[in-house]
Structure formats: C-alpha cells, structure tokens
Structure 1
Amino acid sequence: MEKIVGTSGIIKRLRRIEGQIKGIQRMVEEEKCCKDILIQIAAARAALNKVGGLLLENHVKDCFLKEINDNNKEELINELIDIMMKYTK
C-alpha cells in the first residue's frame, strides 16, 4: 500500500479534488457532453476514495494501534468496523 500521507499531502489532494469539482461545475454550466462530465465525476469520486483510504490507513496506524490494549480491544475493533462500514457505503 502507498506510504502514509501527512496532513499536508492530504490537503494537497483535497485541493486538487476541489479543482476537479469546480471544473465539473463549469462543464455543467457550459452544457458540455454528459459523457465527459460523468467521466470527470468518476475521476473525482476515485480521488475522494483514495483520500478516504489514506485517512483510514492513518487512523489504523496512528490512532487505533496506539490505543488498543487488552481492556479495550473489543470496543476499538467494533469502532473500527463501524468506521469502515460507514466509509464503504
């Protein structure tokens, strides 16, 4: 898997996605071809999924593993499962 991206890397990715979204808005305003707009929407969605995956990876490596111990293992695992279920909806 890709190396964990720090806050600045995630912000950079989010800004790039923001630019993609603004580009999609322009395409809609200019009544561009629906096929081309859908392709750009798919690209933006994939980029968001990538950011979400990186944040989930960061959470597991930086938060989850540091917090887990024998006393709270089941609670944290259930919390992680809940996060993953919400993310994958």
Structure 2
Amino acid sequence: MEYTEQMKHRVKRLEGQKRGVLRMMDEEQDCKKLVFQMNAARTVLDRDLGLIVGSNLEQCVREQTENGENDETFIQEAVNPLVKSR
C-alpha cells in the first residue's frame, strides 16, 4: 500500500500535537486548555484515519479480490473498528 507524503505529513503534525500536550502537562497548564488541545489532537487523528482509509480502501478491495477473498467481508473488517471506536 502506498502512503503519500501528505498522509505522512499529517501524522507528523499529530506527533507535534502530542508533544504539545505533554509540554502543557509538564507546565501544569489549565485543565480546560489541555482538554481543548487533546480534543484537537483526536480530531486530527480521526481525519487522518478517514483520509487513509478513504484513499486506500479501493486498492485494498482490489487486492483482496485478486486474492480470491470476499470484498464485503474485507470492507466490513476495515470499517467496523472505525464504527466501534465512536
């Protein structure tokens, strides 16, 4: 599976947000600010996940079909963890 530079950049940005949250904790920042930053990081992660799944699902389904596996089962396996996490 090919992951674009855009996808990698987005994950790197998430790393920066995580470091920012840890720094805020070290500095004993206000809880409201910390929660706001953690929620922002979660939003970025959700969007990144959607981008990666959306961009690669077609390729994954095609590969599974070529290997003789059931498309519907594969799609369910790919999407179910996303649905269950919310």
Structure-1 residue corresponding to 2:79: 84
SS at match of 1:32: coil
Please identify runs of 4+ aligned residues in structure 1 that moved more than 6 A: none
The answer for unaligned runs of 5 or more in structure 2 is: none
Structure-2 residue corresponding to 1:50: 47
Of 35-44 and 53-62, deviating more is 53-62
**For the aligned residues, what is the CA RMSD?**
1.8
Alignment of structure 1 residues 1-89 onto 2, 5 Å: 6-65=3-62, 67-68=64-65, 72=69, 75-88=70-83, 89=85
For 1:78 and 1:66, the matched residues in 2 are separated by: 13
Q: TM-score w.r.t. structure 2 length?
A: 0.81
The answer for unaligned runs of 5 or more in structure 1 is: 1-5
What one-letter code is carried by the residue in structure 2 that aligns with 1:64?
V
Instruction: Kindly tell me the number of residue pairs found equivalent between the two proteins.
Output: 81
Q: TM-score w.r.t. structure 1 length?
A: 0.79
